[in-house]
């Protein structure tokens, strides 16, 4: 039966997080008020504080949860034994995972400024761990000669930045399928880091 007051701890909590994620992504953390979140959830602002000590914790929880899931999933999906195949695993996983969670991706990058220094350090650590997933692939590939990168760290950041770009233009109703997009990016990533012999060079 419908109630306008009473206990809803098991549904209100997730709804607060979903709503906050969407509003933070759309308008920015600083521009969204607790009243606005509460209003969309359907409770009064004071009720939010049953679920979090303050607004900062809400933001941090969203970002931390996202980064932990990213790390967990990337470890599970980047498993091929062959280096080139593992790089392809990573490329396709990164694009797909990021396109599935655009709001969480967006705030995890855009709202770093609004974290306390302690919380910022934690999120930065998780982000670096994720970068290490790719960097170790590039380092192993360079060592064995199947890849050719001038600077492993820069190549890592360059590839991730390039892949992140998909989120800025992708639309569900666009002209390309997800698989086509993955393939186009994988082609560019592969060419950028594989030893090559340009046609027509001498």
Which residues lie near DNA (CB under 7 A)?
A: 4-9, 12, 32-36, 38, 42-47, 49-51, 53-56
HSE, CB side, 13 Å, CA atoms: give it for residue 22: 11
Residue nearer to DNA on the CB measure, 56 or 129:
56
Residue nearer to its own copies on the CB measure, 11 or 143:
143
Both structure tokens of 41: 């959830």
We find the least distance from the C-beta atom of residue 178 to its own copies, in angstroms, to be 13
Both structure tokens of 34: 């607790």
* Contact call for residue 147 and its own copies (CB under 8 A): no
What Rg, from alpha-carbon coordinates, does the chain have?
21
H or E segment and range at residue 178: helix 178-193
Cβ atoms within 10 Å, residue 20: 26
Residue nearer to its own copies on the CB measure, 3 or 169:
169
Question: Could you say which residues in the range 37-96 bind its own copies, by CB under 8 A?
Answer: none
Residue nearer to DNA on the CB measure, 54 or 132:
54
Q: Which stretch binds its own copies (CB under 8 A): 15-23, 37-45, 95-103, 162-170?
A: 162-170
Question: Quick one: what does residue 195 bind among its own copies, DNA, none, with the CB cut-off 5 to 8 Å set by partner type?
Answer: its own copies
Residue nearer to its own copies on the CB measure, 47 or 162:
162
Size of the site for its own copies (CB under 8 A): 42
Both structure tokens of 33: 């008020």
Question: Quick one: what does residue 12 bind among its own copies, DNA, none, with the CB cut-off 5 to 8 Å set by partner type?
Answer: DNA
Q: What DSSP letter does each residue of 136-176 carry, written as one string?
A: HHHHHHHHHTS---S-HHHHHHHHHHHHHTHHHH--TTSSS
| Cα–Cα distance for residue pair 174/194, rounded to 1 Å | 30
């Amino acid at each position: 039966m419908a109630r306008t007051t009473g206990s809803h701890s098991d549904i209100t909590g997730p709804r607060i997080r979903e709503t906050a994620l969407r509003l933070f992504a759309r308008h920015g953390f600083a521009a969204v008020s607790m009243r606005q979140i509460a209003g969309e959830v359907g409770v009064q602002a004071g009720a939010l504080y049953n679920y979090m000590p303050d607004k900062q914790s809400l933001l941090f929880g969203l970002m931390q949860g996202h980064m932990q899931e990213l790390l967990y999933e990337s470890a599970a999906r980047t498993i091929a034994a062959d280096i080139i195949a593992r790089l392809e695993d990573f490329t396709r996983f990164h694009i797909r995972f990021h396109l599935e969670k655009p709001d969480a991706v967006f705030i995890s990058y855009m709202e770093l400024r609004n974290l306390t220094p302690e919380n910022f350090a934690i999120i930065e650590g998780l982000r670096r761990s994720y970068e290490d997933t790719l960097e170790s692939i590039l380092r192993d590939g360079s060592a064995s000669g199947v890849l050719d990168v001038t600077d492993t760290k820069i190549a890592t950041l360059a590839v991730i930045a390039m892949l992140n770009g998909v989120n800025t233009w992708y639309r569900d109703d666009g002209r390309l399928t997800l698989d086509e997009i993955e393939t186009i990016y994988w082609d560019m990533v592969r060419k950028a880091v594989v030893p090559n012999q340009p046609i027509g060079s001498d």
